[in-house]
Amino acid sequence: MARILLVHTGGTLGMAGRRPEALRPAAFFRTLRRRAPELFELAEVDLELFSNLDSAEMQPELWSRLAALLYRRLPRYDGAVVTHGTDTLAYTASALSFLLPGLPKPVVLTGSQRPLGEIRSDARLNLVDSVICALRGPPEVTVCFDSHLYRGNRVRKVKVAEYDAFDSPNFPPLGVLGVEARFEPGLRPARRFRLLERLEPSVFVLKVFPGLEPSLARALLPGIKGLVVEAYGSGNFPVSPRLGRPLRPLFREARERGIPVVVVSEANRNGVDLALYESGAAALAEGAIGGGDMTPAAAVVKLMHALAYFRGRAEVRAYLEKNVAGEHS
């Protein structure tokens, strides 16, 4: 039989609790064998307990450890499934896509909106679909949820209380698991499989909103090494000094301090074009980097990765503008 590595990190899928009590991490593997025995008919599944955390507790250090585990263990398997809480799943999927370049086999992240032990759980189907994706899907980091397979660094969590919790607004699904399971080719490994697990977490995300005080934003700069600005529309923000809250000085001071700034859009669909409007052009003039249609999660993790491996401003910019793992169009 084919061999699949199933790595459990925690999340709702493996939790227990009688509502309305709070859900908590539980003994996942015992529940898995009882509630989803068909997984072990699809493949020889080896279980690995990485952690048993609510995904709100996932941190960059854990992404690095998880990537190292997959790099070490994956050569002995046909693919891997990682169970994960939904709240930060998009961040972990994005991180693994950058930390494991040249991935030769599928790594599929999944989770659920209800615990596996509950009667109306979506966990069982997500697990079965994910094992099928790990056996037949494209060799890259993906997210399988509600019978759809998405590129991992393209997903956003869009719903809290419905089973179709994830979407990939700017990139089509890599697979649909209906009566038949259909898959797209996905990424082709262009280089040898490597582990690049270092990350620099001193990054901040600044969301632009009406009334944002530039002085508060600039006060952040001494304590960070990189900044992601989630701007309006195609990359817009206030620039008029007449109205008292222009953000161009923030970009100027970041440039003077050598802090790279990546601009992404608060809009789910389409992306940033800094050359389109006056404020975007001002950001470009101060050295900002347009994130295109990258999700905020992908931009944050990619900036952490760039800061860990590149020192010069030109090198960091080149890496951030390059399409490394299919993260932008």
Q: Calculate the alpha carbon distances from 176 to 120, 137, 168, 181 in Å.
A: 22, 10, 13, 6
**Residues labelled as active-site residues:** 12, 86-87, 157, 277
Residue 171 makes CB contacts below 8 A (sequence gap 6+) with: 150, 151, 154, 326, 329
How far is Cα 233 from Cα 36, in angstroms, rounded to an integer?
Answer: 44
Closest CA to 181 of 141, 137, 220: 137
How far is Cα 264 from Cα 82, in angstroms, rounded to an integer?
Answer: 28
Three-state secondary structure string covering the chain? CCEEEEEEEECHHHEECCCCCCCEECCHHHHHHHHCCCHHHHCEEEEEEEEEECHHHCCHHHHHHHHHHHHHHHHHCCEEEEECCCCCHHHHHHHHHHHCCCCCCCEEEECCCCCCCCCCCCHHHHHHHHHHHHHHCCCCEEEEECCEEEEHHHCEECCCCCCCCEECCCCCCCEEECCCEEECCCCCCCCCCCCCCCCCCCEEEEECCCCCCHHHHHHCHHHCCEEEEEEECCCECCCCHHHCCCCHHHHHHHHHHCCCEEEEECCCCCCCCCCCCHHHHHHHHCCCEECCCCCHHHHHHHHHHHHHHCCCHHHHHHHHHCCCCCCCC
